[in-house]
Structure 1
Amino acid sequence: MSTAANPPDLSIHRAGHTATVEMCRPPHNFFDLALISALAEAFESLQADPACRAIVLAAQGRSFCAGADFSSPTPAAGERRDPGELYRQAIRLFAVTKPVIAAVQGPAVGGGLGLALVADFRVACAEARFSANFARLGFHPGFALSHTLPRLVGAQQAALLLYTGRRIDGAEALRIGLVDELAPQDQMRERAQALAEEIAISAPIAVESTRASLRAGLVEAVRAAVEREAGEQRQHFQTQDFREGVAAMAQRRDPVFGRH
């Protein structure tokens, strides 16, 4: 196994015809523009490498990715108020032509769930948790989930998850088709890598062309989705409901929303 020169907050390992891109912001791997841009650059670099035939997206720490960090006043706060550029970088992830397998060892929440849905397949464990918790925080879903979630689990299940913001475990995620395989937590990364290796055995020109057929129109649909999502979020971030949602999350209580 070889290790490429790694950008900040990412680790890239190659083994045969597969590569593992690991997010290194434990414990929760909160993302910002810098991390999503780095992921896009890593994916595009691997796309340009004919020796790489499949990518595993993994993470250190307790969470796969808890989305944006709304609890801390940092310079990234401006990005949260105007997510347009971050979502433009996310489109680059969807545009990569190599198959991607997400290894989800813990919570994938909010935009972190959106990131997991960039992948073609998700291997998870019973301890994983999945939540599109945007409505609980008082704003419109993002990271293309308004398109990718119903595409994956159907309109009815997607509406249920998006309207309630409920958190489901790995077994429920498997039942509704949100993940493709469950493995014990200590074996989950290896199972994701084994799936990548199984894909890599197939002819790469056949895999990539088949993938292009199956995902025809996806990038364009994602681009339209994130443009609408970002516009809705900019408005919602100005409301009392958003302030209440963030406060309730920090205080670990149910939010009390009104119309604003």
Structure 2
Amino acid sequence: MAIHDNILIKIREMKDSLTPVEKLVAEYILNNLEEIPHLSIKSLAQLSKTSDASVLRFCKTMGYSGYRSFIVSISASLGSMDDEQKDQYTDIQPGDDLSVIISNISRNNVKSIEDTLSVIDRKEVERAVKAIRGSDRIAFFGIGASGLVCMDAEQKFSRINKMCHAYTDGHSQLTAATLLSKGDVAFFVSNSGDTAEILDALDIAKKNGARTIALSKYNRSPLAQQSDIVLSISTPEVTFRSGAMGSRIAMLTVIDTLFAGVASAEYQKVKKYLTKTHNILSGKHRK
């Protein structure tokens, strides 16, 4: 199991959205893991061709008050690396045996969930649950594989009588965002966080006073920077072969968590809805 705050995963996920100087520090660390715990701030600055101040700024960007606490965290993450090595993401290879595919896909999905556990902010999850509980209605926005996550969210929250709907194409998203108002929650799902249609809908939702929640890859994307609440996931690099499999499973896990958080907090109220919907569905199956 991945530890709950694996700094190496955070660095890997954040790398592409860092400033050019911070990126130099990140790349040196990721390419020279074993030696990092033994380096002074001055040594790391020289080796990464940056400055002491840049290294310190990088540590702060990663959520640490200083260099020492950052290095302690790196050492702890390295301690779990032996297990991690056996768990690297595996892409689809031509001619793979089915038993290998079953094993690889299962391991990739498990790893996406475990790595998401390392980057998701518990306080933001708590804020998202609170926002959903206090909302008049929820509009879920997502395109492609992210749209499927929105449909799953709609199906779940509808079962506990939350007014919600999934909008999965550009035109319906703009229309829905235009009709939102204060008291509503606009929930945006996008792995990259820079999908044009999603950002257009976000802009409109914000102008109308809706509370905005983003579910996205752990980075400094426009979606993450402009949303009120940010739920981060960690996924492998997306390739043309594996597509959005890893991100989808991580996102569905976050949706499950939010649903469970809301249902648990309002259990006495939602119990009757869960029972009613379960009974009507199981009755249909018997016919």
Q: By the TM > 0.5 criterion, same fold?
A: no
Kindly indicate which of the two structures has a greater share of residues assigned to helix: 2
Higher gyration radius (CA): 2
Kindly indicate which of the two structures has a greater share of residues assigned to strand: 1
